[in-house]
Amino acid sequence: MIELRDVRYGYGSSVVLDIAAWDVAAGEAWLVAGPSGSGKTTLLHLLAGLVTPVAGRVVVAGTDVAGLAASERDRWRGRTVGLVPQRLHLVGAVDVVDNLRLAQRFGGRSADDRRIQALLDAVDVGHLAHRLPRELSQGQAQRVAIARAVVNRPAIVLADEPTANLDDAHAAAALELLRTQALEAGATLVVASHDARVRPVLARTLMLPSRATVAA
C-alpha cells in the first residue's frame, strides 16, 4: 500500500525527513512516532501528496504520488486519502452533513446522504448532523473529522496527533474509533503521534529520530 524509497524532504540545505525505505501492506495500522520536529507531519503530507519529496519515490496505493501533475494529485488525494488533521478542523461555514458532502464532492463521489448518516450514526453524532462546527464539543468535532476522513472509503487514512489535548478516556475512544472506521472502510491507517498512549493501540511503529533518517 505504501512504498517509500530514498525519500528526502527539506528546505534548502536543511533536511527535515530522510527515509531510505518504508513498506506498509494494505490494511495495516501504523504509528509514526518521534519527537517534535522529527518530520511526522511532513511524512503524512508526503503520503497525502500535499508536498513532494526533494528526492526518492513515494508510492501510495500503487501511484507514484510525486509523478502526478498538481491537479491530478489533488484528484488522486480526494479519492485515495482520508485525512484527520491535527486541529480536527471542520469547515466552519457549513453544518456537519455538508462537511461530509464536501469530502464526497472533492473525492469525486456522487452525493450519498445515506452513507453520511450511517457514518455519523456509527460515530455517535448522527443527531448532530445539522449542527454547525462551532456548536460541537471537541470530542464531537473529532468524531465528525474521523467520519469525514473515511466517507469516501479511502485506501489510506492519515491522522495527525489525534489524541492531542484529550484525556485518557477520550484518547482511547478516539483511537478505537479511528482504528475501527479505517478497518471498516478497508483502509490502511497511519497515525502520526508523539503520544505514548497511542503506541499500544497500533500494531506497527515507524520511529523517526529528531532529524529523521530511517535505515532500510
Interface with another protein by CB under 8 A: which residues?
41-42, 45, 48, 50-51, 70-71, 74-75, 77-79, 83, 85-87, 89-94, 98, 101-103, 105-108, 111, 148, 160
Which residue, 40 or 179, has its beta carbon nearer to another protein?
40
Which residue, 1 or 44, has its beta carbon nearer to another protein?
44
> Which residues lie below 8 Å from residue 149, measured CB to CB, with a gap of 6+?
82, 83, 84, 103, 157, 158, 159, 181
- Nearest approach, Cβ of 168 to another protein (angstroms)? 22
Instruction: Provide the grid cell at 115.
Output: 452513507
Which residue, 71 or 215, has its beta carbon nearer to another protein?
71
CB 118 within 8 Å of CB 147: no
- Nearest approach, Cβ of 193 to another protein (angstroms)? 13
SS3 content of the chain, % helix, strand, coil (to 5): 40, 25, 35
CB 99 within 8 Å of CB 130: no
- Nearest approach, Cβ of 142 to another protein (angstroms)? 14
Which residue, 73 or 179, has its beta carbon nearer to another protein?
73
Pairing of strands 63-64, 81-84: unpaired
- Nearest approach, Cβ of 152 to another protein (angstroms)? 9
